[in-house]
């Protein structure tokens, strides 16, 4: 984990009291404030993998959830916008249940829990919800 990621991670944990969903969104927003989208995503993935590993729970990291949530935030973020303005304009992104609902429209729970989705980003594909819930792993 790089030093700048660690600084931003700590700031977001302090701001939100723990590293829950809102702190994860805030961390992603902060990384996008400082880096290009691709660099921010790379730093987020590397840092979150390291956090899960250091917590002794590497299986809790999901590349698919991380990337999909990152893309939702990227889509709604306005350059030059403050965190406070973003949070006020995008309350649904700060609420895990609302985000889970958006992601649930794209992915089945089985797919999101799969080893593949945890290891690498899996694109949502038409019909994948039915195929996975029918027992096949995509």
Largest Cα–Cα separation, the chain? 45
Q: What is the pLDDT of residue 1?
A: 65
Q: What is the pLDDT of residue 132?
A: 39
Rounded-to-integer distance, Cα 127 and Cα 116, Å: 17
Over the chain (138 residues), the average pLDDT of each successive run of 10 is: 89 93 95 95 96 92 95 89 92 92 89 94 72 38
Q: How far apart are the first and last CA of the chain?
A: 30
Q: What is the pLDDT of residue 118?
A: 95
Look up tokens 């945890």; give the residue.
118
Asked if 21 contacts 95 with a C-beta cutoff of 8 angstroms, the reply is yes
Q: What is the pLDDT of residue 131?
A: 40
Q: What is the pLDDT of residue 79?
A: 81
Q: What is the pLDDT of residue 127?
A: 59
């Amino acid at each position: 984990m790089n030093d700048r990621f660690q600084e931003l991670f700590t700031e977001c944990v302090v701001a939100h009291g723990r590293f829950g969903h809102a702190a994860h969104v805030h961390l992603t927003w902060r990384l996008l404030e400082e880096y290009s989208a691709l660099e921010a995503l790379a730093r987020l993935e590397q840092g979150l993998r390291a956090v899960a590993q250091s917590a002794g729970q590497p299986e809790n990291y999901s590349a698919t959830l991380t990337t999909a949530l990152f893309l939702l935030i990227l889509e709604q973020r306005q350059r030059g916008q403050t965190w406070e303005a973003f949070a006020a304009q995008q309350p649904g992104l700060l609420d895990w249940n609302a985000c889970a609902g958006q992601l649930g429209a794209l992915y089945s729970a089985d797919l999101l829990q799969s080893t593949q989705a945890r290891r690498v980003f899996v694109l949502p594909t038409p019909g994948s919800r039915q195929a996975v819930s029918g027992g096949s792993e995509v």
